[in-house]
Structure 1
Amino acid sequence: MRHRKTGRYFNKNSTHRNAMLLNMMNSLINNEIIKTTLMKAKELRKIIEPIITIAKKNTISNKRLIRSKLNNKYNIIKLFNVIAPQFQNRLGGYTRIIKCGFRNGDKAPMAYIELIGRKIVLKKKKVK
């Protein structure tokens, strides 16, 4: 029976899946946008949004709770000092998933997952 079994397995065992999602969380906090498959982006959204909700309240217990999940002190500092204050007046929906076509090798649907309200830096082209 499959009572209360939720989530996607990605044909990986649990330790590999948890490590993959942890790395994706750290990359998303660090870069504020990542490109991945659509299913992984949907699964990552379910994990990262409660973490941002916890980080909105800047207490020692919340820092310890997130420290047990992220294991990267620079991303924890960025999460509490930069990302969470942007979402103080927002009740949820901190991420956006944008579909961007298919991967060349196996035609898996690809998507960008980004934090809402990130600063977009445009590169200037050099004109000769």
Structure 2
Amino acid sequence: MRHRCKVSLLGLPADQRKALLRSLATEIIRHGQIKTTKTRAKAVRSEVERMISLAKDGSLAARRRALGYIYDKDLVSELFKAVQDRYGDRQGGYTRIVRTKSRRGDNAEMAIIELV
């Protein structure tokens, strides 16, 4: 049964899946958008929004939790500085998923996930 299992398993073992989601979230925060499959974009959306919510909180505990998840320390400090100006009045929905053309090799549904 998959009751209440929101995130897809992505066909990976748990450690590889967590590493993939961490790296995708880090790159979205660094570059503002990435192009990936639709399933991966839906899976990483919650992680990115959790990191932005931590940055909006701004406390020392939130900063340490973000440092434990995002790979780059400089990126975390940059995120905590810029997030209040960008998302201060927004209550959620910090990312947007836009579907694009299917991938040529295996016809996988592709999408662009970007920060709003």
Per the shorter chain, which TM-score range? over 0.9
Deviations 1:21-46 (A, max 9, x none): 11101100110010000010011111
Q: Who wins on radius of gyration, i.e. which is larger? A: 1
Contact kept in structure 1, 2:29 and 2:48, CA below 8 Å: no
Check 1:3–1:95 CA distance in 2 against 1; reply closer, same or farther (3 A cut).
closer
Report the Cα distance in structure 2 between the residues aligned to 1:18 and 1:72, rounded to whole angstroms. Answer: 16
Q: CA deviation at 1:72?
A: 1.5
Report the Cα distance in structure 1 between the residues aligned to 2:84 and 2:14, rounded to whole angstroms. Answer: 29
Q: Is 1:76 matched up with 2:50?
A: no
Q: Is 1:10 matched up with 2:10?
A: yes
Contact kept in structure 2, 1:29 and 1:78, CA below 8 Å: no
RMSD over aligned Cα atoms: 1.4
Deviations 1:75-113 (A, max 9, x none): 101210123431010000000111111001100010000
Q: Report runs of 4+ in structure 1 exceeding 4 Å deviation.
A: 1-4
Q: TM-score under structure 1 normalisation? A: 0.84
Higher share of residues assigned helix: 2
Query: How do residues 41-56 of structure 1 correspond to structure 2 at under 5 angstroms?
Result: 41-56=41-56
Contact kept in structure 2, 1:67 and 1:73, CA below 8 Å: yes
Percent identical across equivalent pairs?
34
Where 1:62 maps in the other structure, the secondary structure is helix
Report the Cα distance in structure 2 between the residues aligned to 1:62 and 1:46, rounded to whole angstroms. Answer: 16
Where 1:101 maps in the other structure, the secondary structure is coil
Contact kept in structure 1, 2:54 and 2:62, CA below 8 Å: yes
Q: CA deviation at 1:16?
A: 0.6
| Count of aligned residue pairs for this structure pair | 116
Which residues of structure 2 form unaligned runs of 5+? none
The one-letter amino acid of 1:69's match is: Y
Check 1:19–1:89 CA distance in 2 against 1; reply closer, same or farther (3 A cut).
same
The one-letter amino acid of 2:34's match is: I
Q: TM-score under structure 2 normalisation? A: 0.92
Where 2:57 maps in the other structure, the secondary structure is coil
Check 1:109–1:34 CA distance in 2 against 1; reply closer, same or farther (3 A cut).
same
Which residues of structure 1 form unaligned runs of 5+? 117-128
